[in-house]
Amino acid sequence: MTRAKLMQDLLREIVLKHGRVALNSSQDDDSDLFAAGLDSFGMVDVMMVIEEECGVVFTSAALNRRSFASINTLAAVVAGLQAEAMPNAAPQPASGRLATR
């Protein structure tokens, strides 16, 4: 499994648990998270968990509705934040969950 797929899986898990979103089997990683129930409170909860798990800090430019539009969009935003923080490191959660898989 690729790092990108592992990141998508982690983000999907975080969004489902902390964003109070109802994704079903017909939805994919490009599905609209706001249409699935994500709201501004859930977005902040998801952001806080991502910051802890992935070792990033959301900039004010990244903290917007567009960044949380879908799992794939969120994965791209997190990868970009990780690249800014550590330009020579491979994207992975701070907890090392991706490194061990």
Tokens of 16: 């489902």
Residue type, 10: L
The CATH architecture of the domain made up of 3-20+31-85 is Orthogonal Bundle (1.10)
Higher pLDDT residue, 101 or 46? 46
Domain boundaries, the chain: 3-20+31-85
Segment 42-96, tens digit of pLDDT: 999 999 999 999 999 999 999 999 999 999 999 999 999 999 887 665 555 555 5
pTM of this prediction?
Answer: 0.81
Task: With beta carbons less than 8 A apart as the criterion, state whether 43 and 19 touch.
Answer: yes
